[in-house]
Amino acid sequence: MSGMGGGHGGGMGGSMMMQHGQQESGHKMGGTGGMGMSHGADALAPGSEFEIMRFQITQETSDSPALPHQLSVIERYTLDDVANPGKPVPIAISEGPMAMLLNGRPYAMDDFLPEERIPVNTLQLMEIFHNHGGEGGGHGSGHGGSGGMNMAAMMSMAHPIHIHEQPFQIISRSMSDDGQEAYASVHEGLVDSGWKDTVLVLPGERVRIIKPFREFKGRYMMHCHNLEHEDMGMMRDLLVE
Ligand SMILES: [Cu+2]
C-alpha cells in the first residue's frame, strides 16, 4: 500500500511522517480525529497503514547447508604442556568495602607483581580463586581483604573474570567445603569445553585454566567483566615479555 497521500513521496518523507504520527498518538489527541488534525496534509492518522520498506525477491536460494558431522577439533592442553605446572599464575579475587581487587591491588599502570610478568611464547597454568581474608593466597600477594572473614562471607559473589589476548581452556574447578551443597545444584551445568575468554568464578570456587601467551609482548588486561567491580579496581595488567 502506498497510501501516503501527501505531497512528499519517497523514503525521507515517509520516515518523517512516521515520527510525526508517533508524536500525535503520544499526545492523545482524541484518536479518531484522523485527517481533520490541523497538521497540514502530512498528518497520518494513528493506526493507519503506512509503507516503510519494500522487499523485492530476485533469486531463489536453498536452506542453510547441513552442519558437518564434526565441528573443528580442539587440542586439549594438559599440565604436561605448561611452563609452570607447580606454580600457577595467581588471580586472587578479594572483595572489601568499596574495593574489588585482583591480587590484592587495585589497577595501576606499570604496576606488575612478579607473578604478573609472563614469559612470551609460553603456556601458563593460571588459578583464579577467592582470597577475601588473605588465606590460601598461593604466592603471598593476598593482602587485599580489608573486610575480614565475616564481611567476606557476607559479600562473596560470582565474578566473570575476563583475560585479554589469546583464549584459554578451563582444566579444573573445585569448591570450598562450605559451598559444596549449593555447588551440587549447578556445577553439572557448566560447559567448560572449548576456548574461553571469560570464566565465571562462583563464590568459594577455584578455577584452573591454561592460557597460551604466544608471540605478542606487552600489557594485557585481566578484569572482572562486571563493570561496577571493574570500576572499583578489579582489574590488573599482565606484562608479557
Ligand atoms: Cu566481579
156 versus 160: which is more confidently predicted?
A: 160
pLDDT beyond 60 at 213: yes
**Cα distance between residue 146 and residue 128, in whole Å:** 19
Which three three-digit cell numbers place residue 235?
582489574
Write down the pLDDT at residue 41: 59
CA–centroid distance, 241 to ligand 1, in Å, is 27
User: Percentage of residues in the chain with pLDDT exceeding 90?
Assistant: 56
CA–centroid distance, 96 to ligand 1, in Å, is 12
Give residue-wise pLDDT tens across range 45-97: 888 888 889 999 998 887 787 888 988 889 999 999 999 999 999 999 998 77
CA–centroid distance, 173 to ligand 1, in Å, is 18
**Cα distance between residue 159 and residue 124, in whole Å:** 21
CA–centroid distance, 205 to ligand 1, in Å, is 13
Which of 34-43, 63-72, 206-215 reaches the highest mean pLDDT? Answer: 206-215
| Mean pLDDT of the 119-140 span | 77
pLDDT beyond 70 at 225: yes
179 versus 33: which is more confidently predicted?
A: 179
CA–centroid distance, 231 to ligand 1, in Å, is 10
Which of these, 179, 161, 168, lies nearest to 222 by C-alpha position?
Answer: 161
Q: How many residues does the chain have?
A: 241
Write down the pLDDT at residue 134: 54
CA–centroid distance, 38 to ligand 1, in Å, is 56
CA–centroid distance, 202 to ligand 1, in Å, is 10
pLDDT beyond 80 at 137: no
Write down the pLDDT at residue 173: 96
Which three three-digit cell numbers place residue 179?
559451598
CA–centroid distance, 123 to ligand 1, in Å, is 25
Q: How does the average pLDDT of the chain come out, rounded?
A: 79
CA–centroid distance, 158 to ligand 1, in Å, is 6
* Cell 595467581 -> residue: 90
pLDDT beyond 60 at 124: yes
pTM, full prediction? 0.66
pLDDT beyond 90 at 20: no
CA–centroid distance, 203 to ligand 1, in Å, is 10
Which of these, 170, 164, 157, lies nearest to 209 by C-alpha position?
Answer: 170
CA–centroid distance, 159 to ligand 1, in Å, is 4
CA–centroid distance, 101 to ligand 1, in Å, is 9
25-30, long-range: CB < 8 A, 24+ apart: none
Beta bridge partners of 130: 93
Write down the pLDDT at residue 232: 92
Give residue-wise pLDDT tens across range 101-117: 999 999 999 999 999 99
Which of these, 134, 74, 95, lies nearest to 233 by C-alpha position?
Answer: 95
Are the beta carbons of 141 and 104 closer than 8 angstroms? yes
Give residue-wise pLDDT tens across range 41-50: 578 888 888 8
> What CA dihedral angle connects 90, 93, 97 and 99, to 10 degrees?
60
